[in-house]
Amino acid sequence: MNPAEARYPYQAPIDAYGNGGFRFADMSHRGSILCLPSGIHAWEATAADALTPESFTRVLGGQPIQFLLLGTGARQVFPSKAVKEAFASAGIGLEPMDTGAAARTYNVLLAEKRAVGAALIAVD
């Protein structure tokens, strides 16, 4: 299977992060992930400063969410103007923060059954 097509078909809280990946639903995944209403998807992103609107095609063209938590790695990095404009045009809020904060916030909002997604860049 193409790694970009790998996905867990349900929403699930993030149990752990670090060592280059994530644990969720009694599984582990090496690399970055997109957590969306359609499930948890492998995401090819490795660095926040390399993100473009095309990096978020699955988010911008998928099931509607109120906002996306953007976990930018070990530290908070603000997305480019082009990325911010793509989210504004789609009517989706974008909240950048470090990956740990994004994962914790995603878990809280998921438990509240909010229409939220998370794009999480893996950290070591």
Structure confidence at residue 1 (pLDDT) = 39
The number of distinct structural domains making up the chain is 1
Q: How far apart are CA 50 and CA 44, in angstroms?
A: 11
Token pair 């999480």: residue: 120
Structure tokens belonging to residue 22? 């994530």
Residue 100: give the domain boundaries: 3-120
**CATH at 14:** 3.40.1230.10
Q: Is 39 exposed, middle or buried (0-12, 13-18, 19+ CB in 10 A)?
A: middle
* Digit-coded pLDDT (tens) for 23-71: 999 999 999 999 999 999 999 999 999 999 999 999 999 888 999 999 9
* Digit-coded pLDDT (tens) for 71-116: 999 999 999 999 999 999 999 999 999 999 999 999 999 999 999 9
